[in-house]
Structure 1
Amino acid sequence: MVEGGCFCKRIRYIIANGAYPSVICHCTMCRHVHAAPYVTWLVVPVAQFEYVTGTPTALASSTDGTRYFCSSCGTHVACSNTGHTDIIDVAIGSLDKPEAFPPTLSIYTNTQLPNHPTLEIKP
């Protein structure tokens, strides 16, 4: 079982064990919402993900996307997209053991900040 949650521990989730892709996103929306040069997501089938403590606040960040965060500490824990309703993107930084899922892909590299190096993705 993979576990994670927000900084203050009010929101906790579990993910069934599996080999899930970890994706580095360079899109401007992710960068802005997370105040970071990029965000890394674990791409998980919704059926394998469950909140076990607390309920995150939902923010409709676009016509297609909803982001979920803790209203107490502000930690962003997940993101969903209307085009992929069977998937939830879980913020790698909210995992208890993020090192278990090294990045496998970079997306939106056309909007990557020019002063940040491209990370080497190892298969």
Structure 2
Amino acid sequence: MTAERIAGGGCRCGAVRYRVTGEPAATSHCHCSDCRRMTGAPTLAWAIFPEDKVEIVAGVLAAHETSPGVEWGFCARCGSTLTYRRASRPGLFDVTTATLDDPELFPPQKEIWTGERLSWIRSNPEVPHFPRTGAG
């Protein structure tokens, strides 16, 4: 029997640390305007885990509800965006791939919200593209 993979991550200042266990249910590279505005970056990569596979192991994850049922988690000290949850997907917890100690562990399996992709961002031809959220 193979042990489940355990990966750590956290914010820029180190005040908030998290741990994920196992493989993500999905990974994606998002081009939506909400991700851009919440992070100040042109795109954002996500690893989506079952909620019981994500644990905050240090600090307190602050939260901001950007619209009804949509919550972004961040470090209140340095402002790093760490997580995303939405009520329409109960039991799932997204973590920003770039905040993992090893972001290479979970490469995006698809690109989503490509209908909002900035014209100067190149798409990855190796993965499926979805104009909106995509399946999963």
TM-score range, shorter chain: over 0.9
Aligned length: 123
Other structure's SS at 1:61 match: strand
Question: Structure 1: any 5+ residue segments left out of the alignment?
Answer: none
Residue matched to 2:115: 110
Question: Structure 2: any 5+ residue segments left out of the alignment?
Answer: 1-5, 129-136
Please tell me the root mean square deviation across aligned C-alpha atoms, in Å: 1.4
Other structure's SS at 2:98 match: helix
Q: TM-score, normalised by structure 2?
A: 0.85
Higher relative contact order (CA 8 A, sep 6+): 1
The question of whether the paired residues in 1 share the 8 Å contact of 2:24 and 2:47 is answered with no
The question of whether the paired residues in 1 share the 8 Å contact of 2:27 and 2:47 is answered with yes
Amino acid at match of 1:76: T
C-alpha displacement at 1:109, in angstroms? 0.6
Query: Aligned partners of 2:105 and 2:60: how far apart in 1?
Result: 25
Q: Bigger CA drift: 62-71 or 14-23?
A: 14-23
Of the candidates 45, 54, 69, which is equivalent to residue 49 of structure 1?
54
Structure 2 residue 70 is the aligned partner of structure 1 residue 65: yes
Q: TM-score, normalised by structure 1?
A: 0.93
